[in-house]
Structure 1
Amino acid sequence: MMSRFFDKAAIVSAPSDHKFTAPMSSWRLCTVTQAEELKMLLQMYPVWLSFVTFYAVTVQMSSTLVEQGMFMDNHIGPFTIPPASLSIFNVLSVLVWVPLYEAFLVPLARRFMGNDKGFSRAQCLVIGLALSILAMVCAALLETRRLAITGANRLTYQSVPVPISILWQVPVYSVHGAAKVFASIGMAGFFYDHAPETMKSLCAALGQLTIAAGSYFNSLVLGVVAIATTRGGSLGGSRTT
């Protein structure tokens, strides 16, 4: 239905006699190529929207996860670890997974899947999104445990560290680092391979636009959660420490 709707933009209607020699406006008639390129662009938007959620998760790594670490025990022996510094494990995970992907996973995928590129772009996308979900599951389980310890030690609504090591956040950062590797490879390849020839630069920019859209979506979600959890005079979910 949608395809036929856009096809009408390239159909020349029978002109009346006084319009027969008049040039047709580009706003009233486009080429078949333009119509097909628009349809290809619209077909990519569901994938684009999935990356909005992925980058909303990515923003969590530098916002709510840091806030979570502020209320955990950040002492390791004589050293005090700033909560924001744990993002280094996200970077280290990327540095580990990039050569691992090229040197081990791609040849393995070529052998068992028969694909010259190893993993297809869609497979990279799915793996990246699945790993980002796993990272959020790990963060949620950690927060559940932290709140349980908070209640057991009668520290609710007190701005003091909870006796649980901040190093429990390392798996969350590490898993998300792996997710970024697969998702970035899949996203760059998908938007370039599926983009029309005249829109490859535009589609590459659309891939980067998901970062901004993910940040706005994350802010929207946090705002909704804050409103929902502060009703009735409550301090909200992020303040139950």
Structure 2
Amino acid sequence: MITGRRCLDKAAVLSEAEMKSGDLPDPWRLCTVTQVEELKILIRMFPIWATGIVFSAVYAQMSTMFVEQGMLMDTTVGSFTIPPASLSTFDVISVICWVPIYDRIVVPIARKITGQERGFSVLQRMGIGLFISMLSMTAAALVEIKRLQLVKELGLAGEAVAVPLSIFWQIPQYMLVGASEVFTFIGQLEFFYEQSPDAMRSLCSALSLLTTSFGNYLSSFILTMVTYFTTTGGKPGWIPDNLNEGHLDYFFWLLAGLSFLNMLVYVFCANKYKQKKAS
């Protein structure tokens, strides 16, 4: 990669013919040193950016599979019925709670340990968020295992009906997603703003939002592949129309595994990342 980036230096070197002619060089054929250095910065940032896509795929489950899971759980509290999608409110509550906790408690403690003014570096903050996102998928899988156990005990596998397991058991997975947002999404915005070329800060800040779009596409792709490979031979698959016949927990474990692998890749890329010199 280093050699590849050095090859870019040739884009700012005049050829012998151009030096002999004395004419102004074609800007489409010759770049300035600044342009070359800015491109190098973007290339260095790309692996860090790419690891945010898997995180966004995990985040997308909050409005998809979490809701599907909640629809087959007990949504009643007395005479009141709780819409499964409304539990995303706990994600918002988690973010609201974690922002002051991070600033007032986590940062001062981390500052004493690491000696850094911010407590954690931006890259460390993003890494912590990726780890928490893996825990959110683990929590979702454990809830689904318990739900399917009740399905088996009550003989409800052939019926698309809710089991007597309170939907409030989903709260931990929503809260963990919210906590991961505070670390990863905010860390991404800070990373792209600080590390991007000075003239491209607005564009690079928008790149952090692009991971959300790609994450949704990745989530759909994974779901399509899982459905294709698990329904061969007439099997109901992991995620059939009636989740009581499926194994949504396997899907959550798959995302937890992908999150773990993504975190390992991130740690490797973060350790290799060369910080941009302060402008």
State the TM-score, normalized to the length of structure 2: 0.82
Matches within 5 A, 1:79-118: 79-118=80-119
14, 21, 43: which one pairs with 2:16?
Answer: 14
Q: Equivalents in 2 of 1:192, 1:157: separation in Å?
A: 52
Letter in 2 for 1:106: V
2:265 corresponding residue in structure 1: none
Give, in angstroms, the shift of residue 15 of structure 1: 0.6
1:30 corresponding residue in structure 2: 31
Q: What is the identity percentage for the equivalent residue pairs of Structure 1 and Structure 2?
A: 47
Matches within 5 A, 1:59-208: 59-208=60-209
Letter in 1 for 2:161: V
Give, in angstroms, the shift of residue 25 of structure 1: 1.4
Give, in angstroms, the shift of residue 77 of structure 1: 2.7
Structure 1: unaligned runs, 5 residues or longer: none
Q: Equivalents in 1 of 2:18, 2:97: separation in Å?
A: 68
Give, in angstroms, the shift of residue 83 of structure 1: 0.6
Letter in 1 for 2:23: A
- 1:118-176 per-residue CA deviation (whole Å, 9 max, x = no partner) reads 22101110111100010011111212222222222222242111222211100000111
CA distance 1:24–1:82, shift in 2 (3 Å):
same
Q: Equivalents in 2 of 1:87, 1:171: separation in Å?
A: 11
Give, in angstroms, the shift of residue 67 of structure 1: 0.3
Structure 2: unaligned runs, 5 residues or longer: 245-279
Q: Equivalents in 1 of 2:112, 2:45: separation in Å?
A: 29
Letter in 1 for 2:147: R
State the TM-score, normalized to the length of structure 1: 0.94
> Within the alignment, does 1:4 sit opposite 2:6 as a pair?
yes
How many residues are matched? 240
Between 124-133 and 111-120, the greater mean CA deviation after superposition: 111-120
Secondary structure at 2:156 match in 1: coil
CA distance 1:34–1:155, shift in 2 (3 Å):
same
Q: Equivalents in 2 of 1:50, 1:222: separation in Å?
A: 19
1:39 corresponding residue in structure 2: 40
RMSD: 1.6
